[in-house]
């Protein structure tokens, strides 16, 4: 989920987005990441939710979002 907060308060469909906007955030990227085989707990499984915000004018660039998405699988497996 991405919300480009610089577009104005109408993109704040979650209360925390209004808080981020009031604090000066311009963009927010959130991702739900599921890892592990479903049903085989011996292999490890779980769900991690990430939320990233920036106050950079114009928000995240395409390269920023690619880097965040590419990093999440490894980050999710860290203890």
- pLDDT digit string (tens) for 1-31? 999 998 887 877 889 999 999 999 999 999 9
Q: What pLDDT score was predicted for residue 55?
A: 97
**Phi–psi pair at 28, nearest 5 degrees:** -140, 135
Q: What pLDDT score was predicted for residue 2?
A: 94
pLDDT digits (tens, 9 = 90+) for 22-58: 999 999 999 987 766 665 555 566 778 899 999 999 9
Does 70 score more than 80 pLDDT?
yes
Does 69 score more than 60 pLDDT?
yes
Spatial neighbors of 29 by CB under 8 A, at least 6 apart, are 1, 2, 51, 52, 53, 60, 65, 68
């Amino acid at each position: 989920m991405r919300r480009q907060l610089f577009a104005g308060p109408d993109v704040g469909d979650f209360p925390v987005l209004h808080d981020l906007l009031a604090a000066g955030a311009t963009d927010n990227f959130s991702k739900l990441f599921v890892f592990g085989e479903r049903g085989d707990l011996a292999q490890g499984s779980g769900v991690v939710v990430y939320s990233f915000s920036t106050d950079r004018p114009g928000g995240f660039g395409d390269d920023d979002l690619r880097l965040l998405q590419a990093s999440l699988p490894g980050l999710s497996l860290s203890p």
